[in-house]
Structure 1
Amino acid sequence: MFTTADRERLRDTLIATAEHDGEVVGAALVGSAATGREDAWSDIDLMLQIDGDPDTVAERWTAAFYADHGAVHHLDVIADGVLYRVFLLESSLQVDVSFWPRDRFRATEPGFKLLFGTPNPPTAPNAPDVTHLIGMGWLYALHARSAIARDRHWQAAMMLDHLRDTVLALACVRLGRNHHHGREADLLPPEVLDALAAARAAALDREELARSNTALLECFAAEVAAYDPALAQRLKPALGKLRI
């Protein structure tokens, strides 16, 4: 397990590397380090502004992570055309480095601590697509019903977990909490969390999965009704048929 001192030393090293990299013309910290919310479990989130080919710089930095910083694997996430490379270090520390074209480097969330360079005008984060979340919710519920009916208990448990996560996301959006990766799900009110806790399946038998399915459908219907009562009424007959 890494220590906070380990994290700070590596962050300082990465910032110094960025400052001396001729193709890196700007850098910023985002996430908990930029908002004063770091704790012992926080990772490193570093944005780099690239004057040149971001992919070339990413490959060079990646080689250094494996050779010098104890990387054991990495994951790529592409968002709005920007490469976010997520490294897992042997110490279990996560390091996220994003490689931004020079003309796109900017704040996209409130937590943005500029280290050097000239950012472009900030943009607001995209609003969550509630309609999409609702669609995914009833889709997971459909597959949960069929999995229970077919005695595919592990598939059913997975679909019910996805449905629960969707309800959590909907509640976060409704109450102005950050739903991304459940970051503020623990801040939801007890009436939401208690109902979802009670809805969790305690075993992988058909009866318990069916009970969980019914309870989660009620939670889901309540969130839909809070967002769009007319849509909730249209969905009500179909959702009623998803109980098993």
Structure 2
Amino acid sequence: MSEAEALAQVQDRLIERARADEAVFAAAFTGSLGTGDADRWSDVDVALGVDHPPESVAAAWTEWLATEFGILHHWDLPAPDARVIRVYLLANGVEVDVSFLPSAEYGARGPSWRSLFGPDPVREPFPAPRPYLLVGLAWHHVRHVRVCLERGRLWQAEHWLGALRTQVISLACLRLGLPTEYAKGAHLLPEEFTQALEPTLPRSLAAPEISRALSALVTVLVGELEHSAPETAAKLAPALSHWADFQGTRIPPPQR
């Protein structure tokens, strides 16, 4: 069975199960299935409105999915209130994300929603990330790349460098009205921006190479802040440039 066939089979069986489940009063596809942008690599994202305790409904669905398709692993995404968001990796390789939502939580909160049956309320959209939080995470990550370089912790430095790049991409996406989560809008960013990001990828774990990538990324970050928050850019630029100016390891790595 091809990926596309497996995906279609899972979708069909999920809808059949939802319609037959007396605990489910409504269902909708979300994510790429909700917008019509799904391809053969897409997850199956479905929201279920439930009028039984979400935990008990999730347990019953987990048992059914294990019998119907086989489950390699599943886990719950931390969620507020009474909702349960359970992520499954099925034995056929399809990822299924099911949100079990009580009536007060069920409904569209954005364009990634396609009602399948039942009531179709519209809820308050989830808030966009706050710019000051993204800016704060960015300077935090710049500083921590430098600290890790000073301590000779190169793997940790690379970790913070990647996290910093994520925040820079999110800031640009937020400014341009693009999706910010999980770099979903990154491929829609202007070419001049993404070209400037390419040198921020380290070519090795050598400290000078991570330092070079950090310097390039700080340049992109400051440029982005000059677009979206020029006063903040003026305040932060000297500190960011200082942290990016790494001349060599001052604290040797621990001896084994």
TM-score range with shorter-chain normalisation? over 0.9
CA distance in 1, matches of 2:93, 2:10: 13
State TM-score, norm by structure 1: 0.95
Asked if residue 154 in structure 1 is aligned to residue 151 in structure 2, the reply is no
* Residue ranges of structure 1 left out of the alignment (5+ in a row): none
Q: What does residue range 71-90 of structure 1 map to in structure 2 within 5 Å?
A: 71-81=71-81, 82-90=83-91
Residue type matched to 1:75 in 2? W
Counterpart position of 2:105: 104
**Per-residue deviation, residues 38-57 of structure 1 (Å, max 9, x unmatched):** 11111111110011201110
Q: What does residue range 186-205 of structure 1 map to in structure 2 within 5 Å?
A: 186-205=187-206
Q: Is the 8 A contact 2:26 2:48 kept in 1?
A: yes
CA distance in 2, matches of 1:34, 1:206: 44
Identical positions, percent: 35
Q: What does residue range 136-175 of structure 1 map to in structure 2 within 5 Å?
A: 136-175=137-176
Moved more, 179-188 or 46-55: 179-188
Q: Is the 8 A contact 1:50 1:99 kept in 2?
A: yes
Counterpart position of 1:50: 50
CA distance in 2, matches of 1:176, 1:185: 11
Offset at residue 240 of structure 1 (A): 2.3
**Helix, strand or coil for the counterpart of 1:241?**
helix
Counterpart position of 2:11: 11
**Helix, strand or coil for the counterpart of 2:27?**
strand
**Per-residue deviation, residues 19-67 of structure 1 (Å, max 9, x unmatched):** 1111111111112222221111111111100112011101111122223
Counterpart position of 1:207: 208
Offset at residue 84 of structure 1 (A): 1.3
Offset at residue 116 of structure 1 (A): 1.2
CA distance in 2, matches of 1:146, 1:104: 43
Q: Is the 8 A contact 1:2 1:93 kept in 2?
A: no
CA distance in 2, matches of 1:80, 1:178: 22
Q: Is the 8 A contact 1:104 1:120 kept in 2?
A: no
CA distance in 2, matches of 1:35, 1:150: 47
Offset at residue 124 of structure 1 (A): 2.3
Q: In angstroms, what is the RMSD of aligned CA positions? A: 1.5
State TM-score, norm by structure 2: 0.91
Asked if residue 127 in structure 1 is aligned to residue 128 in structure 2, the reply is yes
**Helix, strand or coil for the counterpart of 1:65?**
helix
Offset at residue 13 of structure 1 (A): 0.8
Q: Is the 8 A contact 2:25 2:51 kept in 1?
A: yes
CA distance in 2, matches of 1:57, 1:201: 46
CA distance in 1, matches of 2:131, 2:79: 19
Asked if residue 37 in structure 1 is aligned to residue 25 in structure 2, the reply is no
Offset at residue 222 of structure 1 (A): 1.4
CA distance in 2, matches of 1:90, 1:138: 42
CA distance in 2, matches of 1:12, 1:136: 42
Q: How many residues align?
A: 244
Residue type matched to 2:235 in 1? R
**Helix, strand or coil for the counterpart of 2:243?**
coil
Counterpart position of 2:181: 180
Offset at residue 2 of structure 1 (A): 5.2
**Helix, strand or coil for the counterpart of 2:238?**
helix
* Residue ranges of structure 2 left out of the alignment (5+ in a row): 247-256
CA distance in 2, matches of 1:15, 1:91: 18
Q: Is the 8 A contact 1:2 1:92 kept in 2?
A: no
CA distance in 2, matches of 1:107, 1:160: 35
Asked if residue 25 in structure 1 is aligned to residue 33 in structure 2, the reply is no
CA distance in 2, matches of 1:178, 1:3: 26
Q: Is the 8 A contact 2:87 2:97 kept in 1?
A: yes
Residue type matched to 2:114 in 1? K
